[in-house]
Amino acid sequence: MLVTVRELLIEAEKKQCAVGAFNVPNLESLRGVIQAAEMLEVPVIIQHAEVHENLISIEEIGPLMVDYAKRARVPVAVHLDHGSSLAECIKAIRLGFTSIMYDASLKDYETNVKETLELVKIAHSVDVSVEAELGEMTNSTIGGGEGRTSKISDFGNIDLFTNPQQAKDFIESTHIDSLAISFGTVHGKYLAEPNLDFDRIASIRSATEGIPLVMHGGSGVSKDDYRRAIEAGIRKINYYTYMNLAAGKSLKDTIEHSQNEELFFDALSLVATEAIRENIVQALKIFNLK
């Protein structure tokens, strides 16, 4: 069932839980995510990240994502993650995506507001929801690729975190549907235990009168920290790196245990799908407080 992210986040707010959002740059991850959501009978968001254009183009994977969403037995939103240009976002809308993220967070504040507002006007005219980002997300040196590439000393730098009052002004100026915030998470694999500012989440939520808040860099966070973030107001959690690692580990184990046996790629494809599904099931249980 194809829906918008806006619809899913309204329900998440009622239930005080979070919706899992997963990048799907191949058929194995797309199938694994949908299978996990259907097994648990929970909604899910499937995403195409613009940084994954080197793996597969939006023209190739986008129609598959929309088709899988329409045929799913649970509500599924199709979302563009970290769109860096208006052209890319409009392309996603034309392909049938029901939600887009326009990321101008590394530009100056006034430009971020101006460009985001322009996109909101376009997207809302065709009932597509819009996510934007305020504050700076840092990248791990392993498996990052979105946001700013930073030194290890930048991790946890509160000067990069989202300012609650600026968030209030940004939302009022742009009319976005959800806001991705910086509060200590990183894109990619964590090199040290995350140190998250939960009070900042609560402050942003209070200042912005309850707009759905988005957690990027959601992989690798502990169950307790996920729960604390959700309790503070996070309603969408982006998760990719650790499901990707789970598939890689499963394939490595299979190859190592095969010894001299012949291996066929189609069998390995199913191994990867199963590993992703199992990893996503565990994440969705936490996000949906099951």
Domains, in order of start, for the chain: 2-287 (3.20.20.70)
Is pLDDT of 209 > 50? yes
Report residue 23 as tokens.
Answer: 């990048």
Cβ-proximal residues to 286 (8 Å cutoff; 6+ apart), any chain: 223, 226, 227
Is pLDDT of 98 > 90? yes
Percentage with pLDDT > 90 across the chain: 79
Percentage with pLDDT > 70 across the chain: 89
Cα 95 to Cα 48: distance, rounded to the nearest angstrom: 12
pLDDT per position as a tens digit, 160-193: 899 999 999 999 999 999 999 999 887 555 545 5
3-state SS record for 140-195: CCCCCCCCEECCHHHCCCHHHCCCHHHHHHHHHHHCCCEEEECCCCEECCCCCCCC
Work out whether strand 234-239 and strand 129-134 pair parallel, antiparallel, or are unpaired: unpaired
**Nearest CA to 51 among 185, 149, 146?**
146
**Residue matched to tokens 């934007």:** 132
Instruction: Please report which residue ranges of the chain form alpha helices under DSSP H.
Output: 5-15, 27-40, 58-71, 86-95, 109-124, 164-174, 198-207, 223-232, 241-258, 265-287
pLDDT of residue 153: 42
pLDDT of residue 268: 95
**Nearest CA to 178 among 1, 12, 66?**
12
Cα 210 to Cα 196: distance, rounded to the nearest angstrom: 20
- pLDDT-derived band at 138 (thresholds 50, 70, 90) equals low
CB-based contact 43:3 (threshold 8 Å): yes
Set 67, 81, 253, 266: catalytic member: 81
Is pLDDT of 25 > 70? yes
Average pLDDT in the 39-62 region?
A: 97
Is pLDDT of 154 > 50? no
Average pLDDT in the 63-71 region?
A: 98
81 is catalytic: yes
